[in-house]
Amino acid sequence: MQSATWRTFSLLTASFLRPSSRITLKRQPLTSAPFRTMASSTAAAHSLLKKPVKLACVQLSSTTDKEHNLSHAADKVKEAASAGAKIVVLPECFNSPYGCDFFPSYAEALLPSPEATSPSFRALSAIARENQIYLVGGSIPELVEEEQGSKKYYNTSLVFSPSGELLATHRKVHLFDIDIPGGITFKESDVLSPGNKVTIVDLPEYGKIAVAICYDVRFPELAMVAARRGCFALIYPGAFNTVTGPKHWKLLGQARAVDNQLYVALCSPARDTGASYHAYGHSLIVDPMAQVLVEADENEAIVSAELDGEKIESARKGIPLRDQRRFDVYPDVSRGDVKFEEP
């Protein structure tokens, strides 16, 4: 015998199924035109990374001796390349101590002829060529002398091809100006000027990467632009300190990875408690599902991981963010007034 509850359920079900029923469900459109455009434009996302590649982050200690720092970086990059890495990343300010007091004295001119004026440029180019790798050369302090006799300083990353050719230059866009009560006060803008562009680099055998520096990782817009312009990895040379590092370093790497469903690499200096600035260390590589594949401690180390395009595609199929963005509700930042060249 049917219960009253079951009879009620049957009547309601029947009323939903009868075309003439007064109870109707209004079908809402699942997408608007801009949304459908986004879905179709990402259909070829499986080709973001053309073939698997081993990426290594070289976590170095930097001293006050620039020549030693360059030589030490060369040795460690060779070690990473000998273990199979084809993309190698160095830390922020790897050729000098990190700090506003050091930037002017360690800065090198890259314009108009870096081969003549920048020993770090020459060293990085040679390291990439000798090891036949793509080299994201951490960052170095850059000097620009202006016509009026004034000087500007930038925190600048140089990216080289396996032939030693300069592929891209990224000047740190967001300067590290913070004041944490009871924690740390630091103001890069006292000395440095900001860069003014998003940096995307084409590695022909593999695909595109984006390069930014340290504090840039806190600003998701840079990462979103890079992801929607077809990058398979976001690479950040950085030097978080022992106050912000434990709180946010790994979290930010995972956030940028899961937001954009691609690989993220964060490369830090090793910690030197005898220096004026204590880097957190913990260089790491994160996969498109925000899993930390490998992480160093605070000491010198080389951490590496195999990046695979299928893992990117699997993440994007399983959680299809790329097909569900509502650009009819909010704007696509990658289609706005994005700067890809310095003015």
Q: Residues with catalytic annotation?
A: 92, 172, 214
Between the alpha carbon of residue 191 and those of residues 68, 97, 100, 121, the distances in Å are 25, 15, 6, 22
Q: How far apart are CA 98 and CA 277, in angstroms?
A: 7
Q: Are 111 and 154 in contact (CB under 8 A)?
A: no
Q: Are 148 and 137 in contact (CB under 8 A)?
A: no
Q: Quick one: which of 137, 130, 221, 214 has its CA closest to 178?
A: 214
Sequence-separated (6 or more) residues with CB below 8 Å from residue 51? 205, 206, 309
At residue 49, φ and ψ (nearest 5 deg) are -110, 110
Q: How far apart are CA 204 and CA 192, in angstroms?
A: 33
SS3 category, 187: strand
Q: Are 90 and 302 in contact (CB under 8 A)?
A: no
Q: How far apart are CA 101 and CA 191, in angstroms?
A: 8
Judged on CB neighbours under 10 Å (0-12, 13-18, 19+), 236 is buried
Amino acid at 232: F
Give residue 130's region: left, alpha or beta (phi > 0; psi -120 to 50).
alpha
